[in-house]
Amino acid sequence: METYRRDRSYRWNYERGPSFSGSFPAIVDTPLKDFFGSRVSSRLGVAAGILLNSKWVECYSRLGFDVLTYKTVRSRARPCYPLPNWVFVESEKDLESGSDEILRIARRRPRDPAEVTSAVCFGMPSQPPEVWRRDVSRAHSRIRRGQVLVVSVVGTPQEGGGEESLVEDFCRCARWASEAGAGIVEANFSCPNVCTAEGSIYQDPGASGRLAAALRDVLPSTPLLIKSGHFSDHRRLGNFYRAVSGSADGVVLVNGVSRRVLGADDQPVFGDYERVGILGKAIHPAAVSNVTAAVKCSRSQDLGVETIAVGGVTGVEDPGPFFDAGARGVVMGGVPMLDPLLAVRMKAAHPQW
Ligand SMILES: Cc1cc2nc3c(=O)[nH]c(=O)nc-3n(C[C@H](O)[C@H](O)[C@H](O)COP(=O)(O)O)c2cc1C
């Protein structure tokens, strides 16, 4: 069962999804924990990805995911890239940090969700703001006690607009998200499949620092997280953390790891978008390595920036290395689509998470 129908368009999934026909599980009682000022039943959640609107948020709230991230929205409508948007890829080995291997589309679908590595290419589509602002309020009203709604936002570059106009646009979205009921705002500084400036801000510490400071100003009382891409060089990761220190409450690390994906015909699977985000099992070691280095850097230099881990969690025990490293929370991108009952099993096995 796949709650997100990969054979259908983004619009179809937005309007008709989620495709969940099972019965909702009983949720085990777990002690409440602090998560950036909210009391949550667990620090486990869904990353910016499949929670396309309030129907999706409500479904995953009932499935026991407690940190619920509304997929990235913009200040203007943006269509999704054409199909395919999401394919499974072969993953006999882990992605090596810093290397640039080419991945192949999977010949068959792995039977076990814990074995899945996939590639996505959506282009950060968005509903117009008047639609998502109303819908974020609805999502906020549908989540339960012990849960928090995070809203992911991104700025959209304007031709000739430069950095200032991008910062303004980010701030406008962040303010709207907060006004609509976001418990936490997540600003997306990375996207492996958009070629414009908003996809790679995290690689520029100067721009990241200026943008984070501007966002802090418009969100005086709403926690601010920043979504970052993967760093193959830990020195650059340290530069990024130092740049956003004092502005961001936390960094959500990592987005899909950028790689080329080819089909059986040796052509790029996603057409013009050769480099796309790899997620799932194969990126777990790279994500653990980044998160471990990030927590160490923030603590040793007293930066005050928490880390929320994401990347390659596919089984019940996978958040363990992240929490052991000192992550404040663990969110999941792809696996909730294939294994919607995973959070329930994780909370039963690890009520302290
Ligand atoms: C269908 C899908 C769409 C995604 N869209 C976004 C997005 O809009 N914004 C964002 O910051 N990350 C997005 N992501 C990336 C995830 O938040 C996450 O960083 C990535 O999937 C790695 O985690 P995983 O290995 O648990 O899947 C998306 C992931 C998926 C599966």
* CATH code, domain carrying 155: 3.20.20.70
pTM of the model: 0.98
Distance 71 CA to ligand 1 centre (A): 8
- Among 46, 71, 74, 228, the mutation site with the greatest number of ligand 1 atoms within 8 A of its Cβ is 71
Does residue 328 form part of some domain? yes
Does residue 270 form part of some domain? no
**CA–CA separation, 303 and 298 (whole Å):** 5
Q: Which amino acid is at 294?
A: A
The residue segments making up the domain with residue 52 are: 28-86+116-257+278-349
Closest-lying ligand 1 atom to the alpha carbon of residue 190: 11
Instruction: Give the torsion sign (CA, 308, 313, 319, 320).
Output: negative
Ligand 1 site, CB within 6 A: 47-50, 71-72, 86, 120, 122, 124, 152, 188, 227, 255-256, 279-280, 283, 310-313, 332-335
Distance 108 CA to ligand 1 centre (A): 22
Contacts for 328 with CB less than 8 Å, ≥ 6 apart: 35, 36, 43, 250, 306, 307, 308
How many structural domains is the chain composed of? Answer: 1
Does residue 144 form part of some domain? yes
For the chain, 353 residues long, give each residue's pLDDT as a single digit of tens. 899 999 999 999 999 999 999 999 999 899 999 999 999 999 999 999 999 999 999 999 999 999 999 999 999 999 999 999 999 999 777 887 567 789 999 988 888 999 999 999 999 999 999 999 999 999 999 999 999 999 999 999 998 999 999 999 999 999 999 999 999 999 999 988 887 888 899 999 999 999 999 999 999 999 999 999 999 999 999 999 999 999 999 999 999 999 999 999 999 999 999 999 999 999 999 999 999 999 999 999 999 999 999 999 999 999 999 999 999 999 999 999 999 999 999 999 999 99
Does residue 10 form part of some domain? no
Contacts for 38 with CB less than 8 Å, ≥ 6 apart: 148, 183, 184
Does residue 268 form part of some domain? no
Query: Cα dist. 118→35, 45, 82, 124 in Å?
Result: 29, 19, 17, 17
Closest-lying ligand 1 atom to the alpha carbon of residue 186: 11
Does residue 264 form part of some domain? no
Does residue 96 form part of some domain? no
Does residue 307 form part of some domain? yes
